[in-house]
Structure 1
Amino acid sequence: MSRICELTGKGRQVGNNVSHANNRTKRVFLPNLQNVTLMSESLEKSFKFRVSTQGLRSVEHNGGLDNWLLKTSDEKLSDRARKVKREIAKAQAA
């Protein structure tokens, strides 16, 4: 399973370990991913996502899962999140 946030698209980053002698070796920074269950208000249904902690704070700050998915571009979202986004848009249009 890839280490990518399903809601923000945040993935791994590459950088250097720098020693006291200024020797540099490659290293990887991984996002802090958590398995969470988020509730959709318009569908009255819960969905399980693998989300970074930064993404989880962003979702809560923007008024919940429904608002976050409708505002976020499809390129950042995973396939499962896009499917949920279409369901939410369909439910709000009806």
Structure 2
Amino acid sequence: MSKQCQILGTRASTGNRVSHSHRKTKRTFAPNLQSKRYWVPSQGRYVTLTVSAKGMKTIDRIGIEAALARIERRASHGR
């Protein structure tokens, strides 16, 4: 699986590594991804998600049920 948050879709972004002499070379900024288990009461089981730290905060805010619905919508749209 790619390095992508399942909730927000956050991917690695690119930028420049800048040396002391100010030369620039390309680099990537990886998202802060964590593998986290969540209990889903409606299904009576745990689900393991790969989410960013911001994605965890989103799940805390909207709830796991709404977050799973968001993942399903994203999967149905082919993203």
- TM interval, short-chain normalised: 0.7 to 0.9
Q: Secondary structure at the match of 1:9?
A: coil
Deviation at 1:22, TM superposition (A): 2.5
**Are 2:21 and 1:7 aligned?**
no
Cα shift readout 1:21-68 (whole Å, capped 9, x = no counterpart): 321110011111111101112222211111111111111121x21022
| 1:7-26 pair list within 5 angstroms | 7-26=7-26
CA distance in 1 between counterparts of 2:66 and 2:50 reads 18
Partner of 2:36: 36
Gapped runs of 5+ residues in structure 1?
Answer: 78-94
Q: Which amino acid aligns with 1:22?
A: H
Gapped runs of 5+ residues in structure 2?
Answer: none
Aligned length: 75
Calculate the aligned-residue CA RMSD, in Å.
2.1
TM-score (ref. length: structure 1): 0.66
| Structure with greater strand percent | 2
Partner of 2:46: 46
Partner of 2:66: 67
TM-score (ref. length: structure 2): 0.76
CA distance in 1 between counterparts of 2:45 and 2:19 reads 50
